[in-house]
Amino acid sequence: MEIQPGIQIRNAVDSDIEFVIETIIQAEKGNGNSISYCKLFNINELEFRDVLDKILNEKICNFEFSLLNFKIAETNGIKVAAYAAWVEGIVGISSGILKISALKTFLQKENILHYKMSAPVVDEISIRRQPGTIQFESIYIVEEFRGKNIGKLLVEAQLTDLTVKHPEVEAAHVQLMKQNSVSLQAHQKYGFEVIKEKTSLNPQILNFYSGDTRVLMEIKLR
Amino acid sequence: MQTTIELITEVFATLLKRPGLKLTMTDSPDTVAGWDSLTHPELITAIEERLEIDFDFRELASIKTISDLVSLIESKL
């Protein structure tokens, strides 16, 4: 695999918010070319982008919509990739509760009611994030920069930073839809192995995702 | 007069369909069955509507335990 020369990896800052929003949107679309959040909350993509902008500007850490959890890859000042990671539950609150708190704050009550009806279907393939593990979420690499090892650089940069800050961490996890074979194979190259699968037999799951199975992948750190 | 934790307990018991639920100040989503990311927005919204208060994201992100929720509510009354 060619290694792209001149790639710099750095922490995301305020001026990266637009690129981070694009990262989250494109990562979501990688799960089936649609955005599950839009279906869960009955909002369109523009509304979701607006909500993400508000959430990211809050700069609250330790969940997938935190600007401060993203690392950016750039070359010659051009942003080419991003990936988020954090240690689950390190502040005493789960990333799931943080995320739904953020969405509740910036969405309308009817959107939350829609979520209440829809979420049990998605929950059938949800895998609880293990407290104390590094969690990766939302990777996006600009198309012409794929296949150049940039994803691995981002994973390694996140692991290095987080294990220095939290040496007690024993594993890093990522959850993907099984049908997203490109991302699954890429993560195998980054060093992750599939350790768990969860499948829904409910056909309604396909209203939210293009597949019925979520996989949990792991890198053992110790 | 109902205390703050009694009010929270009443809301949780009703929405989680757990009559007889007894909450303590140290309880959290890890210790209260049914308090999770699916039910959290409904629980918080019910408390907000009952007391006619609003929580912003930064405040919600500080709620780790029932004690945190009690303190937050009482700071707004």
pLDDT tens digit string along A154-168? 999 999 999 999 999
pLDDT(A33) > 80: no
What was the pLDDT predicted at A45? Answer: 97
What was the pLDDT predicted at A2? Answer: 47
Q: Which of A105, A109, A119 sits opposite B60 (nearest CB)?
A: A105
- Superfamily assignment of A8-220 in CATH? Gcn5-related N-acetyltransferase (GNAT) (3.40.630.30)
Domains of chain B: residue spans and CATH:
4-76 (1.10.1200.10)
pLDDT tens-place string over residues A113-144: 999 999 999 999 999 999 999 999 999 999 99
Instruction: For A62, name the nearest residue in chain B, comparing CA atoms only.
Output: B61
What was the pLDDT predicted at A195? Answer: 98
For B27, the 3-state DSSP assignment is coil
What was the pLDDT predicted at A210? Answer: 82
Sign of CA dihedral A179, A185, A190, A192: positive
User: Shortest Cα distance from B74 to chain A (angstroms)?
Assistant: 19
Residue B45: pLDDT band (50, 70, 90) is very high
User: Shortest Cα distance from B66 to chain A (angstroms)?
Assistant: 12
Residue A3: pLDDT band (50, 70, 90) is low
What was the pLDDT predicted at B13? Answer: 98
Q: Using an 8 Å Cβ cutoff, are A116 and A195 in contact?
A: no
Paired strand residues for A193: A218
pLDDT tens-place string over residues B11-34: 999 999 999 999 999 999 999 999
- Asked if B29 and A94 come within 8 Å (Cβ–Cβ), the reply is yes
What was the pLDDT predicted at A34? Answer: 87
Partner A, chain B 26-65, Cβ-Cβ below 8 Å: 28-29, 36-38, 40-42, 44-45, 55-58, 60-61, 63-64
What was the pLDDT predicted at A32? Answer: 65
CB contacts of B37 in chain A (<8 Å) are 94, 96-97, 99-100
Q: Checking phi first, is residue A149 left (phi over 0); if not, alpha (psi -120 to 50) or beta?
A: left
What is the percentage of chain A residues whose pLDDT exceeds 70? 97
Strands of A193-199's sheet in order across: A8-11, A70-75, A78-87, A134-141, A171-177, A213-220, A193-199
pLDDT(A31) > 70: no
Average pLDDT over residues A84-110: 96
Residue to mutate among B30, B40, B63, with most A CBs inside 10 A, is: B40
Is ipTM > 0.90 here?
yes
User: Shortest Cα distance from A191 to chain B (angstroms)?
Assistant: 30
